[in-house]
Amino acid sequence: MSVRLDKPTDHPHVAVVTIDRPERANALNPPTLCALAESWRRVAADDDVRAVVLTGAGERVFCSGMDLRETIPVAQALARGERIDAEAFEGLRAVSTATLVGFDLGKPLICAINGHCRGGGFDLMLAAEMRVAVREATFGLEEVALGLFPTGHAAVMLPRQIAWVHAHEILLTARPFSAARALEIGLLSRLVDRSELMPAAFELADAVAANAPLAVHATRAAVREMLSLSLEDAYRRQEELGRPLRRTDDAREAQRAFVEKRPPVWKGK
Task: Please indicate, yes or no, whether residues 138 and 226 belong to a single structural domain of this protein.
Answer: no
Do 98 and 124 belong together in one domain? yes
Residues 113 and 43 in one domain: yes
Residue 103 included in any domain: yes
255 within some domain: yes
**Domain match, 21 and 85 both:** yes
132, 252: one domain: no
This prediction has a pTM of 0.92
- Reference 152, options 218, 102, 198, 191; nearest CA is 102
CA torsion sign for 145, 151, 152, 153 is: positive
- Number of Cβ within a 10 Å radius of residue 245: 15
Q: Which domain holds residue 238?
A: 213-260
CATH of the domain at 246: 1.10.12
* 266 assigned to some structural domain: no
Is residue 267 a part of any domain in this protein?
no
236 shares a domain with 188 = no
Q: Do 200 and 246 have their domain in common?
A: no
Same domain (yes/no): 171, 252: no
Q: In sequence order, what DSSP letters do the residues of 83-127 get, joined into one string?
A: ---HHHHHHHHTHHHHTTSS----S-EEEEE-SEEETHHHHHHHT
Q: Determine the Cα angle at 184 with ends 105 and 169, to 5°.
A: 80
In angstroms, the CA 55 to CA 21 distance is 11
How far apart, in whole angstroms, are the C-alpha atoms of residue 216 and residue 209?
9
Is residue 265, in this structure, part of any structural domain at all?
A: no
What contacts 191, CB < 8 A, 6 or more positions away?
A: 132, 133, 134, 135, 179, 180, 183
Asked if residue 268 is part of any domain, the answer here is no
**Number of compact structural domains in the chain:** 2
126 shares its domain with 32: yes
| Contacts with 48 (C-beta within 8 Å, 6 or more apart), sequence order | 7, 13
Tell me how far apart the alpha carbons of residues 168 and 154 are, in angstroms, rounded to a whole number.
Answer: 10
Is residue 161 a part of any domain in this protein? yes
> Could you list the pLDDT tens digit for every one of the 269 residues in the chain?
899 999 999 999 999 999 999 999 999 999 999 999 999 999 999 999 999 999 999 999 999 998 877 676 666 666 676 677 777 778 788 989 999 999 999 999 999 999 999 999 999 999 999 999 999 999 999 999 989 888 889 999 999 999 999 999 999 999 999 999 999 999 999 999 999 999 999 999 999 999 999 999 999 999 999 988 999 999 999 999 888 888 888 888 888 888 888 888 888 88
Residues 231, 204 within the same domain: no
Spatial neighbors of 17 by CB under 8 A, at least 6 apart, are 3, 4, 5, 36, 39, 40, 43, 52, 53, 54, 55
Closest by CA to 118, choosing from 68, 159, 73, 186, is: 68
- Closest by CA to 51, choosing from 124, 108, 10, 131, is 108
Q: Where are the beta strands (DSSP E) in 114-169?
A: 116-118, 130-134, 138-140
The SS3 of residue 244 is helix
How far apart, in whole angstroms, are the C-alpha atoms of residue 54 and residue 186? Answer: 19
Q: Are residues 172 and 223 in the same domain?
A: no
Q: Supply the CATH number for residue 199's domain.
A: 3.90.226.10
Residue 269 inside a domain? The answer is no
Are 105 and 49 in a shared domain? Answer: yes
